[in-house]
Chains A and B, each alone.
Chain A
């Protein structure tokens, strides 16, 4: 069965950094593009970043461009999100999600990031 497990969330001060990880199992990770999606408390879903299977194509939402970097290590079946210069408005549950046929068909359980002084 296909699984995604996120980790790395926590409490960080404004201006700080955090690195999220997502480990995949049960499928050929390197074949699939991957996404990060977040959800602020009481709000809707917001797409954050996309990376192709080989890592050659990357997109970021304008709200995180220049501060967040998506990457992957296919040898370790792992997806990452390096988050720098964190702001209060980055507080959210962060999900990794597999990209399939222009949709997101497998989701992790999420990891919570809280940015607060």
Chain B
């Protein structure tokens, strides 16, 4: 079981909005930057959000991240079938001195 807790799955219709939460503690999410990754099965992960809410170049603004206390959230609006993938949050844990990944959330676009 991961230290960072994500819902195993979320789903929504094309064009709709979905949020994915990532819950941690004061030594990880509450203290350090959170990043988000998308992974299509069989391919390498791709960075979507870094430093809680910043997007790398090429990531559309319908994808956004936020953080409040010990919970980070990934928001995807205007869902497309191409958004179907597994999504992971990650952050450093300053007590354990390890990088943590959430357990992953499978997004299904109905």
Contact = CB atoms under 8 A, between A and B. Distances in A.
Nearest to A45: B101
Interface size, A (range): 20 to 34
B44 A108 contact: yes
A44 B2 contact: yes
Contacts of B54: 101
A102 B100 contact: no
Nearest to B86: A44
A62 B88 contact: no
A47 B47 contact: no
A47 B50 contact: no
Contacts of B32: 102
Contact of A44 (B33, B51, B103): B103
B71 interface: no
A47 B96 CA distance: 13
Interface string A77-117: 00000000000000000010100111111011110000000
A50 interface: yes
A105 B54 CA distance: 12
A80 B40 CA distance: 26
Contacts of A47: 90, 98-101
Nearest to B97: A59
Give the dominant DSSP class at A's interface.
strand
Q: Which of A45, A62, A101, A105 has the most CB of B within 10 A?
A: A45
Nearest to B92: A102
A103 B91 CA distance: 8
Contact of A107 (B35, B45, B99): B45
Given A101-B33, A103-B47, A107-B44, A62 B104 contact: no
Given A44-B88, A44-B103, A45-B101, A102 B33 contact: yes
17 contacts: A35-B99, A37-B45, A45-B37, A45-B88, A45-B90, A45-B104, A47-B100, A47-B101, A50-B99, A59-B99, A62-B98, A95-B45, A101-B33, A102-B92, A103-B35, A103-B51, A108-B44
Interface of A: 35, 37, 44-47, 50, 59, 61-62, 95, 97, 100-105, 107-110
